[in-house]
Amino acid sequence: MKILVTGGTGYIGSHTTVELQNSGHEVIIVDNLSNSNINVLDSIEKISGIKPEFEQFDLIDTEKTTDFFKRNNDIQGIIHFAAFKAVGESVDNPLMYYRNNLFSLVNILQGMKDNNIENFVFSSSCTVYGQPEELPVTENAPIQKAASPYGNTKQISEEIIFDTVKVSGIKGMALRYFNPIGAHKSAIIGELPLGIPNNLMPFITQTVIGIREQLRVFGDDYSTPDGTAIRDYIHVVDIAKAHVIAVERMVNKKMKKDFEMFNLGTGNGYSVLEVIKSFEKVTGEKLNYKIVDRRAGDITQVWADTKFANDELGWKAEKDIDEMTLSAWNWELALKEI
Ligand code: NAD
Ligand code: UD1
């Protein structure tokens, strides 16, 4: 199958490209390199043996996107990763987020409609659930008002896709990721955070390698067993594999509804201190951290009910927390060499 991967040189997109290629699919990447590096194409080739086709342009450019789809109307499925994703930045600059994340989506859906391309997989987030009343959280849990413009772009995007699916031949699938961490086992691709990381895992690895001085653990007074907040961390390669299954399900016409959504998590929650413990155990390194106040906007705990994804997609996350933290560390070590 010929699959368009938007944002394919980014963190999750690059891992997904490798898994698609490993499953025999042809990948064409579109990315404007606003948050990734052209060298990732060579890294992908090093792992899979195949350099993906690549076009560099901004998906908010309607003319370029229209032209791209005219030239590539034989694409069978689209996996749309391209978006901005920094929560704090979205609070400071909401219009930048609404423009980038929503205009690009509209342009792609229009291109699909005009060229009869049917299958669209969308990167959504567990952020749409806010702090769920019941855990583990299922796909039927009520969507809560987004805590940030970034989160709001995910909610609005799901609605845009839903409305489009109702009146066109397009089929949509929203994959709601929990907390993707880790890197490919080769340590040839991984996450490349620009500037000071907001997310826990890259902050841990950068602290231990000496780029940051100390990790601040945001709050130890949550109503959790050790007082720190709990998340469902999931290995990025498990996420990537789910996308291969998702797009194959669509192209092979196995969907039960024209718009489906799935949780991509492991179903296990780990506290911040448990992640640190795993990291220290598997790497033998010591992390310098201190407990500080809670971070504004953080929820206490969330983890996924994965039954629907397990049953319907036949997919299950395979890698445990130790594999996640070790692969993240190996990637940090590899980055030092670059
Ligand atoms: P990333 O920043 O590493 O990758 C996104 C890629 O999209 C980058 O390579 C960037 O250059 C590109 N891009 C952004 N805007 C573009 C545009 N207008 N035109 C063309 N290319 C553009 O991010 P990621 O972590 O790989 O995330 C991928 C997707 O998954 C995003 O939609 C993100 O919101 C979503 N998501 C990520 C996480 C996470 O923790 N990483 C969690 C939930 C959801
Ligand atoms: C954040 C975003 C979410 C986004 C996800 C992936 C917020 C409120 N949510 O989720 O929308 O989909 O990233 O990009 O920003 N922590 C520390 N110290 C740190 C960093 C994090 O203690 O320096 C803690 C946090 O308080 C949290 C956990 O680690 O309990 C995970 O944090 P993070 O990796 O930022 O992810 P989320 O906040 O879950």
pLDDT in tens, 257-301: 999 999 999 999 999 999 999 999 999 999 999 999 999 889 999
Question: Which residue has a Cα nearest atom 1 of ligand 2?
Answer: 199
Question: Which residue has a Cα nearest atom 16 of ligand 1?
Answer: 82
Whole-prediction pTM value? 0.98
Task: Tell me, in angstroms, the distance from the centre of ligand 1 to residue 45's CA.
Answer: 20
Question: Which residue has a Cα nearest atom 19 of ligand 2?
Answer: 200
34 lines ligand 1 (CB under 6 A): yes
| Confidence label for 336 from pLDDT (cuts 50, 70 and 90) | confident
**Distance from C-alpha of 325 to C-alpha of 316, rounded to nearest angstrom:** 19
73 lines ligand 1 (CB under 6 A): no
Task: Tell me, in angstroms, the distance from the centre of ligand 1 to residue 35's CA.
Answer: 8
Question: Which residue has a Cα nearest atom 41 of ligand 1?
Answer: 180
Looking at ligand 2, which atom is closest to the CA of residue 86? 14
Q: Supply the angle between the helices 11-22 and 236-251 in degrees, to the nearest 10.
A: 60
Q: Which ligand is nearest to the CA of 207?
A: 2
Residue 226 has pLDDT above 80, yes or no: yes
Q: Which ligand is nearest to the CA of 124?
A: 1
Task: Tell me, in angstroms, the distance from the centre of ligand 1 to residue 225's CA.
Answer: 33
35 lines ligand 1 (CB under 6 A): yes
Task: Tell me, in angstroms, the distance from the centre of ligand 1 to residue 10's CA.
Answer: 6
276 lines ligand 2 (CB under 6 A): no
Q: Supply the angle between the helices 200-209 and 321-337 in degrees, to the nearest 10.
A: 50
**Distance from C-alpha of 79 to C-alpha of 70, rounded to nearest angstrom:** 18
Looking at ligand 2, which atom is closest to the CA of residue 298? 8
Which letter, b or e, does each residue of 225-244 get, where b requires 16 or more Cβ atoms within 10 Å of its Cβ? eeebbbbbbbbbbbbbbbbb
107 lines ligand 1 (CB under 6 A): no
| Domains assigned to the chain | 2-181+234-265 (3.40.50.720)
pLDDT digits (tens, 9 = 90+) for 80-112: 999 999 999 999 999 999 999 999 999 999 999
β-pairing, 119-125 vs 77-80, is parallel
Q: Which ligand is nearest to the CA of 189?
A: 1
Residue type, 285: E
Q: How far apart are the first and last CA of the chain?
A: 34
The C-alpha torsion from 101 through 93 and 200 to 21, rounded to 10°, is 20
What average pLDDT does the chain have? 97
Is residue 205 within 8 Å of residue 288, measured between CB atoms?
A: no
Which run of H or E residues covers position 146? none
**Distance from C-alpha of 276 to C-alpha of 290, rounded to nearest angstrom:** 12
| Confidence label for 193 from pLDDT (cuts 50, 70 and 90) | confident
* Phi, psi torsion values for 254, nearest 5 degrees: -100, 5
- DSSP structure class, residue 289: E
| Confidence label for 195 from pLDDT (cuts 50, 70 and 90) | confident
Per-residue pLDDT at 56: 98
List own/partner pairs for 310-315 with CB under 8 A and 24 or more apart: 312/256, 312/260, 312/262, 313/242, 313/245, 313/246, 313/249, 313/262, 314/245, 315/241, 315/242, 315/245
14 lines ligand 1 (CB under 6 A): no
Task: Tell me, in angstroms, the distance from the centre of ligand 1 to residue 7's CA.
Answer: 6
Question: Which residue has a Cα nearest atom 13 of ligand 1?
Answer: 82
32 lines ligand 1 (CB under 6 A): yes
